[in-house]
Amino acid sequence: MVSKDNFSKEELEESVDVERIIQSIEQDDLEGFRSYFLGLHRYEQAEVFLSLDESLHSKLYHYLSPDEVALFMDNIDPDEEMFERIFDRIDSIYAADILTEMSYDNAVDILSVLSKEKVASLLVLMPREDAKEMRALLNYEEDSAGGIMTTEYISVPQDITVREALIVVKEQAPEAETIYYVFVIDHHKELVGVLSLRDLIVNDDDEYIEDIMVKRVVSVSAMADQEAVALKMRDYDLLALPVVDYQNHLLGIITADDIMDVIDEEASEDYSKLAGVNDIDNTTDTFLQVAKKRLPWLIALTVMGMITASILGQFEETMAKVALLAAFIPIIGGMAGNSGTQSLAVAVRGISTGEIKEASKMKIAMREMGSGFISGLVCGLILFVIITILYQEVILALIVAISLMLAMTVATLAGAIVPLVMHKFNIDPAVASGPFITTINDIISMLIYFGLATTFMSYLT
C-alpha cells in the first residue's frame, strides 16, 4: 500500500507527469485529466492523489466516479488524520459509495480510523448487505485475523460437479478478492476442503467437488494474532488463508497482499521497540509528539542509569587510588552493550520468525554465551597486550581483559535470555530493546570490573 511518506515529490515526478494532472484540474480539462489519470497504474494514482493539495481533491472527485476513486483508495494506507480530513470534504453519499466499491477489508481499515459519528452515518448510506459485512468486520480486533480478513471470497458446495462449480466461480469472481483458491463448504457452511482454479480446469466436468478437493485445509481462528497468521502463510507458502470460527464455519480469507502489509507493520513495530520508542516517528509529527513517544523509555532508562551511577559511587575509593581504572569504563561498558544488543537481535528475530522453538531455547542461550566468551577472550587478549605496552601495568591489563571477557559473556547470555523469558510469559520480546539491554549490561559490566579491581587492589597499588 502507499503511505503518504513513501515517495518524495522528485521520485514521483520521474514516473508520472504530476504537473500535467494539476494543469488539467485547474483548467477544468475533464477529458485530458481522465485520459491521463485513468491510464496510470492504481498505485501511481494513489501516489498522485496523496501528492496533490487537498484544495484540488474536491475537483478531482467531480472528475471521477466513486468506483474509480475506490480503485486507488484500496492502495492507500489508513491514516487517521488524513482520512478524517478527506472524508470531511467529500459529500457523505459519494463517500459511502466509495467505501461500498472498495474491498471490504480496506474499507473497514478506513472506517476504523474515522470518528464513530462519521462511521455510523456512512454505514446508514450504504446498501444493507455491504453495511452488514463491514459492521461484522469492525467488531474484530485490529491486529487479529478477523481484523485483516476480507469476506469477498469464492466458495462452492461439496456436493456439486466441476461443471456446476465453474458456473458458481464465474458468478462470484467479479466480487472476489482472489480467484486462485476455491473454498469448499458443506450445508452448515463449515469449511471442509479447498481446491485451486487449476483443479477445476484440468478435472473432468462430471467429477464431484468432494472427490477432487484437498480435505486437509490450513486455516486460522478469527482471533489469531496477525503476526501468527503471517508466519503460517509463509510456512505453508499460501496465496490466501481461510479464517474460521470456533465451529469451523468459514468467515473470510486473508490474502497475500494483506500479509505483506502486516509484515511491514510488524517489522516497523519491532524496529521501533528495539530503538526504545513506542512508535516510529512520522516526519509530520511535531516536536511535542516526537518527545511524547520517546519520553517513557528515556525516563525509565534515566532511572536505570542512576543505578549505574550509584554502583560507581560505591567504588569511589577504588577509583581514587587507581585513577587509570576510569579510562577503561567506556570500553568495557560499550563492548558489553554491543555484544548484548547483537545477541538480543538474534533472539528477537528467531522468536518473531518462529525459528526458535521451545526445545531449542537453552541451546540458543548456550550458543550465544559461548559466542560471547570467545569474542570476549579475543578482545580481552588484544586489550591486555595494548595496556601492557602503553602503561606497563600487567595487573591492570589483566583485570581489564578478564572483566571484558566476563562482561561480554554475561551480556550475550542476557541478550538471549531476556527476550526468551519475556516470550515465555507472553510479553512482546521486542520490548527488551537495545537501550534496555545496554543499560542492564552497563550495570553488570561495572559490577564485574570494579569488583575485580577492588579484589586485587593491593596488587594495583
Q: Residue 211 maps to which CATH number?
A: 3.10.580.10
Q: Verify that 296 and 231 share a domain, yes or no.
A: no
Q: Verify that 448 and 323 share a domain, yes or no.
A: yes
In a domain, 278, yes or no: no
Domain boundary among 267, 302, 328: 267
Q: Verify that 220 and 317 share a domain, yes or no.
A: no
Give the pLDDT of residue 283: 53
Q: Verify that 170 and 251 share a domain, yes or no.
A: yes
**Around Cβ 157, how many Cβ atoms within 10 Å?**
16
Domain boundary among 98, 116, 140: 140
Nearest to 246 by CA among 158, 145, 332, 320: 145
**With pLDDT > 70 as the criterion, what percentage of the chain qualifies?**
86
Residues 424, 432: Cα–Cα separation, whole Å:
13
Q: Verify that 405 and 360 share a domain, yes or no.
A: yes
Q: Verify that 443 and 313 share a domain, yes or no.
A: yes
In a domain, 274, yes or no: no
Who's near 85: CB < 8 A, 6+ residues apart? 54
Give the pLDDT of residue 54: 81
Answering whether pTM is above 0.95, one says no
Q: Verify that 48 and 106 share a domain, yes or no.
A: yes
Residue 142 clears pLDDT 70, i.e. is over it? yes
Q: Verify that 308 and 184 share a domain, yes or no.
A: no
**Mean pLDDT in residue range 440-455:** 86
Cβ–Cβ < 8 Å for 368, 415 = yes
In a domain, 277, yes or no: no
In a domain, 3, yes or no: no
Question: From the centroid of its chain, how far is CA 12?
Answer: 25
pLDDT tier at 282, thresholds 50, 70, 90: low
Q: Residue 93 maps to which CATH number?
A: 1.25.60.10
Average pLDDT, the chain: 84
pLDDT digits (tens, 9 = 90+) for 186-217: 998 999 999 999 999 999 999 999 999 999 99
Give the pLDDT of residue 379: 94
pLDDT tier at 444, thresholds 50, 70, 90: confident
Terminal-residue alpha carbon distance, the chain: 66
pLDDT digits (tens, 9 = 90+) for 98-115: 999 998 988 998 998 888
Cβ–Cβ < 8 Å for 358, 427 = no
Q: Mapping DSSP to helix (H, G, I), strand (E, B) and coil, where does residue 191 land?
A: strand
Cβ–Cβ < 8 Å for 66, 93 = no
Residue 3 clears pLDDT 60, i.e. is over it? no
Strand partners, 102: none
Domain residues for the domain of 261 are 155-267
As a whole number of angstroms, the longest Cα–Cα distance in the chain is 96
Residue 201 vs residue 76, higher pLDDT = 201
Give the pLDDT of residue 362: 81
Residues shown for the chain: 461
Pairing of strands 181-185, 191-196: antiparallel
Residue 67 clears pLDDT 60, i.e. is over it? yes
Q: Verify that 52 and 114 share a domain, yes or no.
A: yes
- How many domains in the chain? 3
**Mean pLDDT in residue range 259-284:** 63
Of 24-33, 82-91, 95-104, the range with the lowest mean pLDDT is: 82-91
In a domain, 276, yes or no: no
Q: Verify that 162 and 124 share a domain, yes or no.
A: no
In a domain, 87, yes or no: yes
Q: Residue 451 maps to which CATH number?
A: 1.10.357.20
In a domain, 197, yes or no: yes
Q: Verify that 160 and 251 share a domain, yes or no.
A: yes
Residue 279 clears pLDDT 80, i.e. is over it? no
In a domain, 150, yes or no: no
Q: Verify that 331 and 239 share a domain, yes or no.
A: no
Residues 238, 219: Cα–Cα separation, whole Å:
11
Give the pLDDT of residue 169: 94
Residue 61 vs residue 314, higher pLDDT = 61
Domain boundary among 236, 267, 298: 267
Q: Which amino acid is at 321?
A: K
Residues 186, 188: Cα–Cα separation, whole Å:
5
Strand partners, 157: 185
Cβ–Cβ < 8 Å for 450, 311 = yes
pLDDT digits (tens, 9 = 90+) for 118-134: 999 999 999 999 999 99
pLDDT tier at 272, thresholds 50, 70, 90: low
